[in-house]
C-alpha cells in the first residue's frame, strides 16, 4: 500500500501554528522510542486539538516537561538564543530533528542560534521562549506562535524557524538529484555513473542475488524463448503477452 505525502497549509509557515496542551497522557518511554504503527494517542490528541480550534497538540510528561507533538518533534529558542530540544529518552528520535540539530551545531551563525542543547524543558520555560518550532520529515520546520492562551515570542514566525526551514528545504532539494541518479545508475561502477554523466546510456544489468534466483532467471529466459518460437510458429505476434509472462 502506498500513501501520499502529508501536505500542510502554507499559512503554517507564513503565519504560524496554534497548539494546545493535550489532555491525553504521553506514551510510556518504551513505546515512545519504538518505531511502530500504534499512533492512537497521537491521533486522539490531533482530533482534540482540531475540535478545540487549534492546529495541533503537545504532550507533557509526568514530570511537567515538554514531550512531543502528534507526529512531530518540538523545539524552542530561549531568550538567550539557544536552540533547545527535549531529551530523546521518552520521545521518538526523529530523523529530521537529529539532522537539524546537527546542522545547527555546525552552522550556528547560519541558523542564528547561540548554541544547541538537548535536555528536559519545563513547560514554564518553554512558554517563555522566543520561538517554538515543530520539526518533522513531512512538515520540515514550522513555527508555533501560540500555545494554549500564551503567545510565543512576538506572535510571528521567528528568524530561527525561517533559517532552519530554508536549510531543511535546501538540503532536501540538494539530495534529490543524487538520489534520482542513484536509482537510475544501478548496476554501474564507473566514474561516469558515480558523478553524473549521461543518465540515458546503456547500463550493466544487475546480477541475480543468489543461485536460486539465477536458476529461476535462466529458466524464465528459456521459457520466454520457447514461448516466443511457438507463438511465431502459430502466426501470433510476440507483442501479445503469453501466460508465462503473467506469473
Question: Strand pairing of 56-58 and 17-21?
Answer: parallel
Task: Please provide the DSSP assignment of 67-132 as one string.
Answer: ---SSSEEEEE-TT-EEEE--TTSS---HHHHHHHHHHHHTHHHHT-SEEEES--BHHHHHT-SEE
Helix (H, G, I), strand (E, B) or coil at 220: helix
Q: What residues are annotated to the active site?
A: 35
| Angle, in degrees to the nearest 10, between helices 95-106 and 159-184 | 110
H/E run at residue 145: strand 140-147
- Assess contact for 90 and 34: CB atoms under 8 A: no
Amino acid at each position: 500500500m502506498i500513501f501520499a505525502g502529508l501536505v500542510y497549509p502554507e499559512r503554517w509557515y507564513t503565519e504560524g501554528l496554534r497548539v494546545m496542551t493535550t489532555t491525553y497522557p504521553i506514551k510510556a518511554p518504551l513505546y515512545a522510542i519504538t518505531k511502530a504503527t500504534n499512533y492512537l494517542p497521537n491521533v486522539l490528541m490531533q482530533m482534540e486539538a482540531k475540535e478545540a480550534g487549534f492546529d495541533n497538540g503537545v504532550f507533557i510528561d509526568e514530570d511537567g516537561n515538554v514531550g512531543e507533538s502528534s507526529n512531530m518533534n518540538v523545539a524552542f529558542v530561549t531568550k538567550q538564543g539557544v536552540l533547545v530540544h527535549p531529551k530523546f529518552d521518552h520521545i521518538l528520535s526523529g530523523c529530521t530533528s537529529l539532522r537539524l540539530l546537527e546542522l545547527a551545531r555546525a552552522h550556528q551563525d547560519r541558523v542564528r542560534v547561540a548554541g544547541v542543547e538537548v535536555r528536559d524543558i519545563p513547560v514554564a520555560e518553554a512558554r517563555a521562549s522566543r520561538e517554538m518550532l515543530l520539526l518533522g520529515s513531512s512538515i520540515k520546520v514550522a513555527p508555533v506562535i501560540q500555545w494554549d492562551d500564551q503567545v510565543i515570542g512576538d506572535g510571528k514566525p521567528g528568524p530561527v524557524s525561517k533559517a532552519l526551514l530554508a536549510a531543511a528545504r535546501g538540503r532536501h532539494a540538494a539530495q534529490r538529484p543524487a538520489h534520482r541518479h542513484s536509482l537510475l545508475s544501478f548496476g554501474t561502477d564507473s566514474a561516469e555513473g558515480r558523478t553524473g554523466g549521461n543518465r540515458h546510456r546503456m547500463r550493466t544489468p544487475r546480477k541475480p542475488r543468489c543461485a536460486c534466483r539465477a536458476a529461476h532467471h535462466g529458466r524464465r529466459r528459456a521459457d520466454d524463448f520457447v514461448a516466443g518460437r511457438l507463438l511465431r510458429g502459430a502466426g501470433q505476434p510476440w507483442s501479445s503477452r503469453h501466460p508465462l509472462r503473467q506469473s
